[in-house]
Amino acid sequence: MAAFELNDLSGQVAIVTGSSSGIGEATARELGKAGADVVVNYHGEERNADAIVSDIRAMGRRAIKVQADVSDEADVVAMFDRAEEELGPVDIVVSNAGLQKDARLADMSLGDWNTVISVNLTGGFLVGREAVRRFRKKGLREHVSRALGKLVFDSSVHQVIPWAFHVNYAASKGGINLLMQSIAQEVACEKIRVNAVAPGAIATPINAGEREAHLDDMLKLIPHGRVGDPEDIGRTVAWLVSDAADYVTGQTFFVDGGMTLYPGFRGNG
């Protein structure tokens, strides 16, 4: 069966940033399940990265962990160097690393603004730029994929839904949308596909406090009636980077249980 008939990533190498927890971890595991060899990038949690690497190796894939701060240019370049040295040319890059530093606007420090923009948006630029450079150097490997490379950004429903008390985060994700679309427009003619996934509320460490304190309020915003699992996002990314999605570029997939349907407007609104 041709590779594009399956979500088959056999023979491809993937980097997932921020993949020692949450959505990145689930994505790394789903890419491994689909056949890819995986670079688990971590910033803090080395022990989790070790466990994920060993689980992916147990699936019969190759996997390594690489420490890198995605907001640091030299770290990002070194991460791609390590990936290529140990696993070979990189076919798939998922820019997932992200964080929140929440405060009311009047109380938000410039430091907290800069940290969120540096990791979520500048990190996306650095990882996306390096991905495109490496895809070009690698060349087309049609026996594993019809694309020269696949780049996916983890955005958020807050690329379109304004988010009071989180202006740094919402601004970073709004920026990711046009970063993604502009890169996609620039490189589509080279068979490099660039897309984004925009999760709604997914059960991960980034929102553990909010889920504990406000689960009922959160569920009112989700017509599907449950908080999402990290695997809901990982499976979408695995499809998006496979040849089953070969004609898809420049798109954001909202994986949010209907949050962007604005359920508060159901009925009389």
As annotated, the active-site residues are 169
Q: Which stretch binds ligand NAD (CB under 6 A): 30-38, 92-100, 137-145, 241-249?
A: 92-100
CA distances 74 to 69, 123, 127, Å, are 9, 12, 11
CB of 5 to ligand NAD, least distance (A): 30
Binding residues among 112-141 for ligand NAD as defined by CB under 6 A? 119
CB-nearer residue toward ligand NAD: 98 or 175? 98
Interactions with ligand NAD, residue window 12-31 (CB under 6 A): 17-18, 20-24
To ligand NAD, the closest distance from the beta carbon of 141 in angstroms equals 27
In the complex, least distance from residue 148 CB atom to ligand NAD, rounded to whole angstroms: 25
Do residues 25 and 230 touch, judged by C-beta distance below 8 A? yes
Q: Rounded to whole angstroms, how far apart are CA atoms 8 and 34? A: 5
For β-strands 149-154 and 192-199, DSSP reports them as: parallel
Interaction with ligand NAD in 60-79: which residues (CB under 6 A)? 69-71
Q: Which of 23, 64, 1 is nearest to 238 (CA)?
A: 23
Which sign, positive or negative, has the C-alpha torsion 85, 53, 127, 33? Answer: positive
Angle (deg, nearest 10), helices 167-187 and 123-138: 20
Query: Which positions touch ligand NAD (CB under 6 A)?
Result: 17-18, 20-24, 43-44, 69-71, 96-99, 119, 154, 156, 199, 201-202, 204-207
